[in-house]
Structure formats: C-alpha cells, structure tokens
Amino acid sequence: MTAANRVMQSYGRCCASPNFFDTFYQHFLASSPAIRDKFTKTNMVAQKQLLRAGILNLVLYARGMSDTKLRALGQSHSREGLDIRPELYDLWLDSLLLAVKEHDKDADTDILAAWREVLGKGINLIKSFY
Ligand code: HEM
C-alpha cells in the first residue's frame, strides 16, 4: 500500500475516534504562546470542522489531487493574511502526530513516518506562499 493510502486509512480511524480534534488542539495550543495568541478569538467548534477538511486536502494532494485548495490555504496563512510563520508548521505536525498516536490504535512507527512524509509535501507547498 502507498504511504498516502496508509495515511488515509489511519485518518479514517482517527476521525472515527471521539475527540481526535480536541486532542490535536490541546497539544497544538500547549506547544507555544505564539500559537495560542493566534486563536484567542476563534470559534474552536467551527475550527475543528475546517481542520478536518484541511487535513483531508493535504492527504488528497499527496495522492495527486490538484494543488488549488492548498494554494488558497497558503495564501490565507501567508504574512499578508493570518501571518503564520513557517516554523509553526513543525509544531502543527508534531501535535498532529501525538493526536494520531493517541487515537489510531494501529499507529506504529511506519504509519507515523508515513504521516510525516505525506503531509510534509502539502505543508511545504503552503509554507512556500509565506
Ligand atoms: C484557519 C487549515 C496550519 C492558524 C485555517 C482554516 C483552515 C486551516 C482550513 C480555515 C480557512 C482559512 O482561513 O484558510 C490548516 C492546515 C494547516 C494549518 C491544513 C497545516 C498544514 C496552521 C498553523 C497555524 C494556523 C501552523 C498557526 C497558529 C490558523 C488560524 C486560522 C486558521 C489563526 C484562523 C482562525 C480564525 O478564524 O480565527 N487553517 N492550518 N494554521 N489557521 Fe490554519
């Protein structure tokens, strides 16, 4: 199975696990004051739904989907927009992997490495718009 397909299956198990996105935001917000500052006025219920689709788009991009959606995310997160500094994506990915480890009972080191590889491609594209 390709890395992108293994990630897709792992993501399915994560989404089926209650509180996966809560766990992600707990880790992410705890990772830096710079992250917490960005979400002070955010409706986190809505944000979790947006992230659900955002992660799916990262996986679909690695499976060959057009880059249109990720380019739009790159623009919204750029310095003219939300101003998300590129190094904050490392904290984002580390937080996501912690959440995957806790919510996907099948997550082993291979699956976690697949997540890093697969999401890394789309994250690099988003960062390139900064
Ligand atoms: C908004 C996805 C990384 C902070 C959003 C939205 C999506 C999204 C889909 C809503 C639509 C939009 O504004 O374009 C993602 C994905 C990421 C990522 C897939 C990883 C590749 C980050 C990082 C930060 C961040 C590293 C750092 C703090 C925000 C903020 C908003 C936002 C502050 C707006 C929240 C509000 O409306 O108050 N993100 N994001 N994102 N993202 Fe991200």
**CA 39 to ligand 1: nearest atom:** 33
Of the candidates 129, 93, 97, the one whose C-alpha atom is nearest the C-alpha of residue 110 is 97
- What's the CA gap between 32 and 53, in Å, rounded? 24
pLDDT tens digits for range 15-27:
999 999 999 999 9
Q: Which amino acid is at 31?
A: S
The answer to whether the CB of 49 is under 6 A from ligand 1 is: no
Among protein residues, the one with the nearest Cα to ligand 1's atom 36 is 42
ipTM of the complex: 0.98
The string of DSSP codes covering 96-113 is HHHHHHHH-TT--HHHHH
What does the DSSP 8-state code read for residue 14?
Answer: H
The structure tokens listed for 120 are 């890394």
pLDDT tens digits for range 28-80:
999 999 999 999 999 999 999 999 999 999 999 999 999 999 999 999 999 99
Whether the full predicted model's pTM is greater than 0.95, yes or no, is yes
Q: Which of 28, 82, 95 to mutate to test the pocket of ligand 1 (most atoms within 8 A of CB)?
A: 82
The answer to whether the CB of 123 is under 6 A from ligand 1 is: yes
Q: Quickly count: other Cβ atoms within 10 Å of residue 52's Cβ.
A: 14
